Amino acid sequence: MTDFHFSTPLGRSRARAFGISFDGEPGTFNAITDVPGVGVGYTTLISGDGPLEVGRGPVRTGVTAILPRPLSTIADPCYAGFFSGNGNGELTGIHLIEEVGVFSLPITITNTHSLGVARDATLKWVAANRPEALASAWGLPVAGETYDGFLNDINGHHLTEAHVFAALDGATSGPIEEGSVGGGTGMSTFDFKAGSGTASRRVGWAGKTFTLGVFVQSNFGERRNLMIRGRRVGAELAAPQITQTTPRAEKSSIIAVIATDAPLLPHQLKRLARRVPFGIAWTGGLGYNSSGDIFLAFSTANSQAAAGRAGQLASLVAIPDGDIDPFFEATVQAVEEAILNALVANADMTGRDGNFVPALPHDWLAATFGRAG
């Protein structure tokens, strides 16, 4: 039986496979999908090699879909909060979240120049699958982006509505893939191949156990700053290096999505989002000027209260602010592990113009940290 703490469904090693120990207790799949009702789907686009021909490729991109609720209740709002650690990026829908502390509909993450396609296709998908959700209301779905133009023909606009529909239709609970999949296909972190990563933590409170899960699209950092569990390893990893034919723009970002079934209120979820930079810092991220570091946190609890009914008092339950520290810790722990999973569950990639990004060497990981068991 596969232990998904150590490998992905396709058998890619995760960080724990190399004996790297982490703080906190992970959920069953150590993924954002450990939060009941949350699903993740991908469409991955990899085609072509050689010199860039805008509109033809090479293509190294995709889209990730995160469903905060099952399709039957996808229009039910979730309490939410967001935080921008550095605003050189985009996450749609955040003005509504800032104003009223809720959002609804699926979340999508893709490359910078396909953000609009992902957002608009989400509305069309909802209209086709849950038309009553938009029959007498507007929709402001959340869509995020990071830049993959070093490996991908980003100006060729290869992502289509059909690709977004496929990711949304394919969203599932349970174990999910990591690395160069979905919106993370063309991304790198600390000058190694990275992309999509996830992790989760169980949090006990007042005799109950809640789950907090994190998903990252990771595309940031300088090699020299890389840290693994407090060890400054960047200097040990001068090779292998990125190679390039075309100039490499310094454009780095990370989108993080936090999901929990704990009954947290919008201001508390915003506070969770503010803790994401600590998890990034534990891996060596410093939030450089060009980095779009934007983070969303949502709770699947209190759906009726989040929806509200005109003329009716809303009843809800909430964890007191004074008891929120374990959820802060879980956020930091899961962000750190999700980033490292995005790095470990990966392979070398060559993209447009022969530009090359190496994977974090597994032989070095085994020699440095060992193997699980």
Q: With beta carbons less than 8 A apart as the criterion, state whether 333 and 185 touch.
A: no
In this predicted structure, what is the pLDDT of residue 37? Answer: 98
191 carries an active-site annotation: no
In this predicted structure, what is the pLDDT of residue 138? Answer: 86
3-state helix, strand, coil in the chain (%, to 5): 30, 25, 40
Mean pLDDT of the residues in the chain: 95
In this predicted structure, what is the pLDDT of residue 1? Answer: 57
Percent of the chain scoring above 90 in pLDDT: 89
Percent of the chain scoring above 70 in pLDDT: 98
Instruction: Using alpha carbons, list the distances in angstroms from residue 191 to 153, 159, 234, 258, 319.
Output: 19, 25, 10, 25, 40
State the pLDDT confidence band at 191, using cuts at 50, 70 and 90: very high
**pLDDT tops 90 at residue 156:** yes
Which of the residue ranges 96-100, 181-185, 303-307 would you say has the lowest mean pLDDT? 303-307
* Mean predicted confidence (pLDDT) in 143-157: 97
State the pLDDT confidence band at 135, using cuts at 50, 70 and 90: confident
In this predicted structure, what is the pLDDT of residue 136? Answer: 75
Instruction: Using alpha carbons, list the distances in angstroms from residue 29 to 8, 66, 353.
Output: 9, 16, 38
Q: With beta carbons less than 8 A apart as the criterion, state whether 254 and 88 touch.
A: no
In this predicted structure, what is the pLDDT of residue 250? Answer: 67
In this predicted structure, what is the pLDDT of residue 252? Answer: 82
Token pair for residue 222? Answer: 């300088």
Q: How does pLDDT run across 2-53, given as a tens digit for each residue?
A: 799 999 999 999 999 999 999 999 999 999 999 999 999 999 999 999 999 9
Q: Which of 293, 303, 321, 348 is catalytic?
A: 293
Question: Which residue type does 278 have?
Answer: F
In this predicted structure, what is the pLDDT of residue 174? Answer: 96
Secondary structure element (H or E) that encloses residue 166, with its range: helix 161-169
Secondary structure element (H or E) that encloses residue 236, with its range: none
What pTM does this model have? 0.97
CA distance 313 to 233: 54
Residue 288 burial (10 A CB sphere; 0-12, 13-18, 19+): middle
In order of start, what are the domains of the chain with their CATH numbers? Answer: 15-360 (3.60.70.12)
Q: How does pLDDT run across 286-328, given as a tens digit for each residue?
A: 999 989 999 999 999 998 888 888 888 888 899 999 999 999 9
Q: Which of 114, 180, 196, 291 is catalytic?
A: 291
* Mean predicted confidence (pLDDT) in 192-206: 97
* Mean predicted confidence (pLDDT) in 82-103: 96
In this predicted structure, what is the pLDDT of residue 10? Answer: 96
* Mean predicted confidence (pLDDT) in 204-218: 97
Q: Which of 252, 253, 261, 299 is catalytic?
A: 253
253 carries an active-site annotation: yes
Q: How does pLDDT run across 247-272, given as a tens digit for each residue?
A: 776 668 999 999 999 999 999 999 99
114 carries an active-site annotation: no
**pLDDT tops 90 at residue 123:** yes
* Mean predicted confidence (pLDDT) in 189-212: 97
**pLDDT tops 90 at residue 231:** yes
In this predicted structure, what is the pLDDT of residue 271? Answer: 98
Pairing of strands 192-193, 227-228: unpaired
